[in-house]
Structure 1
């Protein structure tokens, strides 16, 4: 009976609205309006943010991760746990039972997210333990609680580890597994990784199969909502260079011309590294005249790099043209290009072959020859050439 009062009339109770009630209601409405205006002005002055902070304190545990009892773990502690787990996995017996491996993974108290899994794989990759990397991926595949948004990145990182470990067969098996699932289907980074691995191993047929799969994805992915994603890709200059790497290993000079023709048709401009690899193919196949022709092409289109000069010095050495090799290195130094230790090593062998051992030994004091480890070998082999009366030991 807040705004009414009780009055006796004829022995009964009657509820009447008096003038006082109406006045009270009017004052309440006016006060309510003033309160709203005051709140609005308060918010306009910028003080409303404090109320938002206060309201956040009353959120449930499901709504907020910042409430008491859910303090965030510092990143350095997370990294410390990951490093400890990675080092333990690297040192543990690779033939340990599956249940023991699973127990060790669970007892590490690491929350397995995309970041933590990638870090574990990277740590094991640096340690060269590619077998353990595959075991971690197998364990994650059977773990129902592991929900990944970037699982393809995990597999691509594992591909890179297998490539660094020079395991082309295992890398190719993992790549084929990626091609079977839409969420794992390889992107350009994955194609580059497997191409580099196969190219360095000289797996020519498998490399061409990978290129074909880039251009023609499986038909089963061409329908459905996820199938709207364009899976078809064209090889880029990195992939074409890996084919040239395979041609060096297989000594197939025809493949080098095929690569150049494909790049021309696809309007991909060859780089200096591309021409350097083509020259390596021709050197491996004994086609020295073609090495010099491609060197002239490089000079017309760009500035030769250290790789190009290394191939050129090796070619002059094979041809017995010692003076031309020396002039090529001087031309490189004049251009301000820093040659590798392997280049000066090849130059020293070339000098020793022609009986100019002292010049080869003088390279030890050459300011352009920066790497001392290989040059010590030059000194030793220079003495060998001298003792064997200028007969090459290679």
Structure 2
């Protein structure tokens, strides 16, 4: 007797009661029974919200058979929203384009949803502009939600002037700003601590009949802190306490972090103690700030003690806190505690990030555990994190000193194949390491690809080493490579190369190729090398050798005449 609209009503009822298991079961039954419509899909995905896995959301969307339901804008918006809430912005854009090709006509909510994803992604502002331009091309108009999201995108991309421009444009278009708009613009002003504009904006807000709420006042506090107005920050913090807006640690942490970074460690420490004395609800973020402050100030014993105090007090960890504690233990040289933190990360299934690896590599280098530092950097590279050039250079140098030449070359390649720019000196540094380790084939690769960035003495050192003991089959290639970069090859190098060929008669073709190439590039053998060749001419064919040396002689004569 129940119809689809009745089922949808029950879905909404389960959602209000937070009965997520029942909600999912009912939706599955509706799918299997064919009692479902566009509203069912939209309702389900909207209610499941953050708990809905993005992969599951896409599977549900792809499983819709009814084309009209599949292109229903409410369903599409719900799927896109789910992806963005789970940090899958790039995937949401790809799916959006697929939806467009399948016949979707996006509305303002679609663009607003996608714009919200630009807040936390790299180059979010340029991506947001592309979406706004597309929205306008489709004949849609920007509403107050779009403007608010754009201002938030500007704030997250350090563009306060653009945020201010959109705020004013919104008012000119007849939209009245709400507390979210004011808060977002204040956040943009906090980038450079522009407290004059922030104060004017809050006054404008009050004149519009809006009362600043907790979010607005906390954002204003951030502006004061970044502007270095610590006295004013303390006054506003006291006001937040009076209003009941400082029942958790975040407002205190804003001021404390600003004081610590300004070098006022005692004042920051005093505020940290105040959080404890007043039993302010804390997630440990205040500990993280103070541990970092102690590390920066060289107060390593205090940093270490506070890290241990956190371990004894809290059983919740996130990557930020683990990195902070790891840094404290590394700076204090507490190897056992460092290893304990790493085991804790493994146990909590928390993946290390760029900062984790950077802390560990610097620590292992300091402790002269260079091979461990190398393995850590290798793991870092395999996980998609690119190491800094300075760190690579330092590790390369130390690996070279302990004769871990191939590991040093691996570090060089990690940096070389990353998207980072490389200092010219690194090519020559790795070249010397490879020559010392007799990894001459690898050294040849470095010279061939970067000869113009390597000094002539270094190229000569490489050439001597290679002609003495490098792969004989590559000698001619090396000669051509160093000649091609403008290096003038001297007679001593030619004699070394030719001597290698004479010592291995089976390589006579390579000698003949070299003798043929030389006059074409203006090179001729000197008398001692000529005599050496003639002495062994029977090995290579007297007639052929005579012809080649004659050709070289003619080139030499012409050169002298000229």
TM-score normalised by L of structure 1: 0.59
Q: 1:384 aligns with which of 344, 348, 365?
A: 365
Q: Which residue of 1 aligns with 2:266?
A: 289
For structure 2, the 5+ residue unaligned runs are 1-65, 81-90, 370-390, 392-562
Q: Residues of 1 paired with 2:93 and 2:330: CA distance?
A: 48
336 and 360 in structure 1: CA distance in 2 versus 1, 3 angstrom threshold: closer
> What's the CA shift string for 1:112-143, capped at 9, x where partnerless?
64333424534666765534534654676698
Q: 2:188 aligns with which of 197, 207, 218?
A: 197
**8 Å CA contact 2:224, 2:233 repeated in 1:** yes
Q: Which residue of 2 aligns with 1:375?
A: 356
Q: Residues of 2 paired with 1:85 and 1:285: CA distance?
A: 41
Q: Residues of 2 paired with 1:198 and 1:117: CA distance?
A: 25
Larger proportion of helix: 2
Q: Which residue of 2 aligns with 1:160?
A: 152
**8 Å CA contact 1:200, 1:245 repeated in 2:** no
Q: Residues of 2 paired with 1:80 and 1:384: CA distance?
A: 51
Q: Which residue of 1 aligns with 2:207?
A: 216
SS of aligned partner of 1:234: coil
**8 Å CA contact 1:140, 1:146 repeated in 2:** yes
Q: Which residue of 1 aligns with 2:63?
A: none
**8 Å CA contact 1:276, 1:307 repeated in 2:** yes
SS of aligned partner of 1:191: helix
Q: 2:301 aligns with which of 314, 317, 323?
A: 323
**8 Å CA contact 2:167, 2:185 repeated in 1:** yes
85 and 257 in structure 1: CA distance in 2 versus 1, 3 angstrom threshold: closer
> What's the CA shift string for 1:290-344, capped at 9, x where partnerless?
2222122212232332210111212332454433323322332333352433333
294 and 124 in structure 1: CA distance in 2 versus 1, 3 angstrom threshold: closer
**8 Å CA contact 1:253, 1:285 repeated in 2:** no
Q: Which residue of 1 aligns with 2:344?
A: 366
SS of aligned partner of 2:231: helix
**8 Å CA contact 1:360, 1:382 repeated in 2:** no
Q: Which residue of 2 aligns with 1:259?
A: 236
Q: 2:218 aligns with which of 233, 238, 241?
A: 241
Q: Which residue of 1 aligns with 2:456?
A: none
Q: Residues of 2 paired with 1:262 and 1:331: CA distance?
A: 30
Is 1:118–2:112 an aligned residue pair? yes
Q: Residues of 1 paired with 2:229 and 2:219: CA distance?
A: 13
> What's the CA shift string for 1:54-111, capped at 9, x where partnerless?
xxxxxxxxxxxxxxxxx99325454669989955999xxxxxxxxxxxxxx9x99654
Q: Residues of 1 paired with 2:280 and 2:92: CA distance?
A: 49
**Correspondences of 1:99-178 after superposition (within 5 Å):** 111=105, 113-122=107-116, 128-131=123-126, 133-134=128-129, 137=132, 146=140, 151-178=143-170
| Residue 185 (structure 1) shift | 1.3
Q: 1:306 aligns with which of 272, 284, 295?
A: 284
Q: Residues of 2 paired with 1:319 and 1:163: CA distance?
A: 31
Q: Residues of 2 paired with 1:152 and 1:113: CA distance?
A: 14
| Residue 160 (structure 1) shift | 2.7
**8 Å CA contact 1:306, 1:337 repeated in 2:** no
Higher relative contact order (CA 8 A, sep 6+): 1
Aligned-pair Cα RMSD in Å: 4.1
For structure 1, the 5+ residue unaligned runs are 1-70, 91-104, 218-231
Is 1:273–2:242 an aligned residue pair? no
Q: Residues of 2 paired with 1:126 and 1:350: CA distance?
A: 29
| Residue 176 (structure 1) shift | 1.6
**8 Å CA contact 1:361, 1:378 repeated in 2:** no
**Correspondences of 1:324-363 after superposition (within 5 Å):** 324-357=302-335, 359-363=337-341
Q: Which residue of 2 aligns with 1:5?
A: none
**8 Å CA contact 2:295, 2:328 repeated in 1:** yes
> What's the CA shift string for 1:345-376, capped at 9, x where partnerless?
33333344344455435432235884433433
Q: Residues of 2 paired with 1:268 and 1:251: CA distance?
A: 22
Q: Residues of 2 paired with 1:214 and 1:284: CA distance?
A: 31
Greater Cα offset, 196-205 or 207-216: 196-205
